Structure 1
């Protein structure tokens, strides 16, 4: 009985060797919502799952070639996701530092697939995972809002494997596995950024004539995003043309306007029609704030200030 068991075990090993094969699957990569206006990148990952059968102890080299995807690639450094005719730049990498682009021997760029490897165990089986690191680049403010996608399958996911002690993935070789499929997706949501330049009325001895000065509000919104800019009543919640700069209990009255003639007050929703509308273009739009201190009783000398909150609604 013992001899029969040994013979069966020996007969089993060659059958496993003849069954050399590998299969692969890749999870989808989702960046969810990305901010294209800021300079910050958005990161995500996907996972390759690998299962192989082969000769016990024999190293299997795996070359998971990833092409441009259906979104294409605008350069060696930028793959693209698409929304109609609009594109969003991103890239796939083989390292967590996102410095080594994950490519393929089939495209024109220098980057190649990383060399992965599995070694079958005593049962002739091996499995493992590898991470694909992705980045959507910041500073793509002219990209319109919407859902962006690039799909990978067929020639875009050419996974090849063979017995090898080397790491050469520079060319096609060995066995071509059934092509896994996955998608890379992101959503660009409407967004706005705002910055301001203060208004300084300077030094004035007696307030017996208009004192004019200007400031600036810079609004950057994603393309086609409708927005409006409102200014609140300052620390005293005053009307647009009767805001108050303060020094202790003393005040200086001033107004903020939308026009150089100082006839159109700039306020908020509490003063209907006093906000400034606009439509985003992906680049900064500069809005001038016109300030005026009208003639009035002059308070004691000193520095008078007020803080006005700028609100961009989109």
Structure 2
């Protein structure tokens, strides 16, 4: 009878010793300001922390953690782009498990191929020698994708609830999280970014070409291209050139000799394009995230022809938003 009782106790011991418990936390991902007109992504990192405890017979055992991360409340449009939202306006980003930002951090709960990375911890005596467990910190690499010019300005967010962070852990010799099994944990967190108003400008010069006697109008065009975040209002002004002249009396110069010319907003050359010193002569617009081409109409009127040579002027273009 004594031997039977001893045998049963030995059978019960492993069941008690195999019990393990893990808690997790993930620091919020904050991209800060994101320039959506740039082709360059904005990269940042977060930290996933795991803290696990077990029983006496767990010492030396390999604990596999599969921290699944789903789409978050912003959803995802494809395997390569999760989204933060500002109302219904999206901003694309992605989470990765490697410093090269190439291996997407996925989940076995979503429809895309990417799965969670596999992290292994070894159970050991904790500091002080009174508890058995393991802990570790793992980097989450995050990237707000570049070249999103049509993204609206404002604050964007995506929340990862417990349903989006199904962290599966258990003793296992597996090296991947293709088919994880074990105990469930979770670690809710949020992803945030802000998009500020921004504009880019590009200029095409005006060349009146080679002319003889200046007895008729000589017309030519250039352009100012404004690319601004959606809803951003802007004003474009052209100063008076080197001579600081009125919009229709600018001067191209060669030494002390000059050629008078004007810059206009319209094809008929009736609306001068100037700056704040000439009321009503600037050009206003509202960005939509796309390149907006504004033609600059130039005209050299009939005038006394100076000596042959190359005549130039420099006009400063200012975009205010």
Q: Quote the residue 1:175 is aligned against.
A: 183
Structure 2: distance between partners of 1:18 and 1:111: 30
Q: How does 1:233-252 map to 2 (within 5 A)?
A: 233-252=240-259
Q: After alignment, is 247-256 or 74-83 more displaced?
A: 247-256
| Structure 1 vs Structure 2 CA RMSD | 1.7
Which residue, 195, 198, 201 being the options, matches 2:202?
A: 195
Q: Quote the residue 2:67 is aligned against.
A: 64
Which residue, 223, 227, 247 being the options, matches 2:230?
A: 223
SS at match of 2:163: helix
Structure 1: distance between partners of 2:253 and 2:16: 87
Structure 2: distance between partners of 1:306 and 1:125: 76
Which residue, 209, 213, 219 being the options, matches 1:206?
A: 213
Q: How does 1:258-273 map to 2 (within 5 A)?
A: 258-273=265-280
Which residue, 285, 302, 313 being the options, matches 1:295?
A: 302
SS at match of 1:235: coil
Distance 1:258 1:240, change over 3 A: same
What is the Cα deviation at residue 16 of structure 1?
9.5
Which residue, 87, 90, 106 being the options, matches 1:87?
A: 90
Consecutive unaligned residues of structure 2, counting only runs of 5 or more, are: 1-12, 127-131
Q: Quote the residue 1:5 is aligned against.
A: none
Structure 2: distance between partners of 1:17 and 1:255: 89
What is the Cα deviation at residue 91 of structure 1?
0.8
| Residue 112 of structure 2 is aligned to residue 109 of structure 1 | yes
Asked if the contact 1:230–1:310 (Cα under 8 Å) also holds between the matched residues in 2, the reply is yes
Q: Quote the residue 2:171 is aligned against.
A: 163
Asked if the contact 1:16–1:53 (Cα under 8 Å) also holds between the matched residues in 2, the reply is no
Structure 2: distance between partners of 1:66 and 1:295: 71
Structure 1: distance between partners of 2:212 and 2:149: 46
SS at match of 1:107: coil
Structure 2: distance between partners of 1:153 and 1:273: 54
Q: Quote the residue 1:4 is aligned against.
A: none
Asked if the contact 1:224–1:279 (Cα under 8 Å) also holds between the matched residues in 2, the reply is yes
Consecutive unaligned residues of structure 1, counting only runs of 5 or more, are: 1-12
Q: After alignment, is 25-34 or 293-302 more displaced?
A: 293-302
Q: Quote the residue 1:48 is aligned against.
A: 48
Deviations 1:113-149 (Å, cap 9, x if unpaired)? Answer: 0001111233323221111111111221111111110
Structure 2: distance between partners of 1:308 and 1:135: 39
Q: Quote the residue 1:146 is aligned against.
A: 154
Structure 1: distance between partners of 2:173 and 2:239: 70
Asked if the contact 1:252–1:299 (Cα under 8 Å) also holds between the matched residues in 2, the reply is yes
Structure 2: distance between partners of 1:277 and 1:248: 35
Aligned pairs, how many? Answer: 301
